[in-house]
Amino acid sequence: MEDNKTIIIYDSTLRDGAQAGGISYTLEDKLKIVERLDKFGVKFIEAGNPGSNIKDQEFFARVKKMKLKNATLIAFGSTRRVGIDVKDDPNIQSLIAADTEAVAIFGKSWDFHVKEVLKTTEDENLQMIYDTIKYLKSLGKYVVFDAEHFFDGYKNNRKYALETLKVAKEAGADSLDLCDTNGGTFPMDIYNITKEVVEMFPGTLIGIHCHNDTGMAVANSIMAVLAGARQVQGTINGYGERCGNADLITLIPNLQLKLGFKCVPDENIKHLTSLSRYVAEIANMIPNERAPYVGAYAFTHKAGMHIDAVKKNPASFEHINPEIVGNTRRIVLSEVAGRATILDKIREIDPTVTKDSPVTKEIIDELKRLENEGYQFESAEASFEMLIRKKLGLYQPFFTLKEFKVLINEPAVEYSSSAIVKIAVDGVTAITAAEGDGPVHALDSALRKALEKFYPELKEVHLVDYKVRVLNAETATAAKVRVLIESTDGKDTWTTVGVSTDIVNASWIALVDSLEYKLCKEKVGK
């Protein structure tokens, strides 16, 4: 065990995280995440369960060839089965075949599980823990013991739960990790029980593994650390079984920035936001905009009074400086935002503009006019940036629309919709057609097909979200709609907006803005 302010970060994104609903990693995905986690500086990467999953066996064969700088890989498995010799257990053999320096073994600490699930005796369960760890230690492995359902077990039969830890320790376990497997334990209980265990095993590394079923996985992990646990298990973005695991993206800055513990190298804390978004991208999950520290809204100010105060001093409504974790402050552009906020945005693009420049008033007037029409730039900063660029003369159209037509048929013939788009770029006309599920899909496909001839960089762009909101709903299908389109090129993510009484037209406006924003970005970048 290192000094008392060091926390060993134990990542299970690729094991418990892969048990999350809606997540399914390919082998390549897993390798990419290992590389990134290693670079970020976590100590352990629990990367799969080779006994239960053939894909994981292939993965361990491949990952062996990677050179890791910081992290140690962990293969995860269960204690031996009831009533057999540990050497004859095929899952244990798969675990050994994974050929990692370290392994994690989970065993039952809740007597209820021993009876109801394993359907064996309490003594046999203790023997299973002992045999498995002893055997793996004899092969020279570093062994983590995951005491499954430890807290539920403690509450039901304290003596037996503690006995499972003693047996694991006797067999040579390198750490004893207390798991709140069902996620139902409360912070004070986590603190008191962990403290008792820490005092019972002086000098032994105690770990904590929390689930979020009562919304307290992060706080529970913190309480365990305050009670003396020095190994923290969790996953990136909290992905995991049911409501997920303790979110390392929140826990690491909580521990390192707020409590002064050392989890990863200080210089890597600024990569938290990009790490979170990278894993979300690979997992194909929509990033949580409200995520602590790294969410798009985490340092977004909307209420007029908050905006006013943050300008006077950011600490007034920010618990940390967003740049420390690689995030940025956002002042949203809403009815309540006022002139000063808008000026700040303009000056991000052209610092020479002042509040008295005529263009400032022009932009504010245009913003007001558009907001009255139903536009909302709060979550569509890319469209607002395009508006500013247009007013500053920093924009020229990348193409001209000549015409489009969309035809929808019911009954459908293969696809319900087909679109024809005719555009011109520098006097060269292109006409393309495409089909799609619905008019917007058909139109999007036809437009890209036309534009990619002229701008191949648009191939990188794809849409990640598409939202529609009816504005004056009283008139229902003849009402105005606002469409928000979120796009990414793999590096950045941006949102654009379109408003119209016609959903296809509103989508078209947002779509064009999105593609032009990308082209602008490329041009300015060069």
Q: Pick the closest to residue 452 from 405, 497, 398, 493 (CA basis).
A: 398
Q: Which of residues 408-467 bind a copy of itself (CB under 8 A)?
A: 408-412, 416-417, 436-441, 444, 462-467
User: Distance between CA 146 and CA 132 in Å, rounded?
Assistant: 12
User: Distance between CA 448 and CA 516 in Å, rounded?
Assistant: 12
* Residue 508 touching a copy of itself (CB under 8 A): yes
- Residue 15 or residue 391: which is nearer to a copy of itself going by CB? 15
Q: Buried (b) or exposed (e) across 65-84, using 16+ Cβ within 10 A?
A: eeeeeebebbbbbbbbbeee
Q: Which of residues 487-506 bind a copy of itself (CB under 8 A)?
A: 500-505
* Residue 524 touching a copy of itself (CB under 8 A): no
* Residue 113 touching a copy of itself (CB under 8 A): yes
User: Distance between CA 269 and CA 275 in Å, rounded?
Assistant: 10
User: Among 170-178, 181-189, 196-204, 354-362, which window interacts with a copy of itself (CB under 8 A)?
Assistant: 181-189
Shortest separation between residue 162's beta carbon and a copy of itself, angstroms: 21
Q: Single out the residue of 1, 340, 349, 407 in contact with a copy of itself (rule: CB under 8 A).
A: 407
Q: Which of residues 337-366 bind a copy of itself (CB under 8 A)?
A: none
- Residue 250 or residue 360: which is nearer to a copy of itself going by CB? 250
Q: Which of residues 141-170 bind a copy of itself (CB under 8 A)?
A: none
How many binding residues for a copy of itself (CB under 8 A)? Answer: 124
* Residue 521 touching a copy of itself (CB under 8 A): no
User: Distance between CA 373 and CA 366 in Å, rounded?
Assistant: 11
- Residue 96 or residue 280: which is nearer to a copy of itself going by CB? 280
Q: Which 3-state string (H, E, C) describes 229-270?
A: CCEEEEEHHHCCCCCCECEHHHHHHHHHHHCCCECCCHHHHH
Q: Buried (b) or exposed (e) across 477-515, using 16+ Cβ within 10 A?
A: eeebbbbbbbbbbeeebbbbbbbbeebbbbbbbbbbbbb
Q: Single out the residue of 39, 72, 172, 186 in contact with a copy of itself (rule: CB under 8 A).
A: 186
Token digits of residue 356: 């008295």
* Residue 401 touching a copy of itself (CB under 8 A): yes
- Residue 360 or residue 496: which is nearer to a copy of itself going by CB? 496
Q: Single out the residue of 64, 473, 490, 492 in contact with a copy of itself (rule: CB under 8 A).
A: 473
Contact 29, 281 (CB under 8 A): no
* Residue 204 touching a copy of itself (CB under 8 A): no
Neighbours of 174 (CB within 10 A): 17
Contact 214, 208 (CB under 8 A): no
User: Distance between CA 270 and CA 259 in Å, rounded?
Assistant: 17
Q: At what angle do helices 158-171 and 122-138 cross, to 10 degrees?
A: 20
* Residue 336 touching a copy of itself (CB under 8 A): yes
Q: Single out the residue of 83, 414, 477, 491 in contact with a copy of itself (rule: CB under 8 A).
A: 477
Q: Which of residues 243-302 bind a copy of itself (CB under 8 A)?
A: 243-244, 247, 250-251, 254, 258-259, 284, 286, 288-293, 295-302
User: Distance between CA 376 and CA 426 in Å, rounded?
Assistant: 32
* Residue 139 touching a copy of itself (CB under 8 A): no
- Residue 154 or residue 353: which is nearer to a copy of itself going by CB? 154
Q: Which of residues 302-321 bind a copy of itself (CB under 8 A)?
A: 302-306, 308-309, 312-313, 315-320
* Spatial CB neighbours of 204, under 8 Å, sequence gap ≥ 6: 1, 169, 175, 176
* Residue 325 touching a copy of itself (CB under 8 A): no
Q: Which of residues 36-75 bind a copy of itself (CB under 8 A)?
A: 52-53
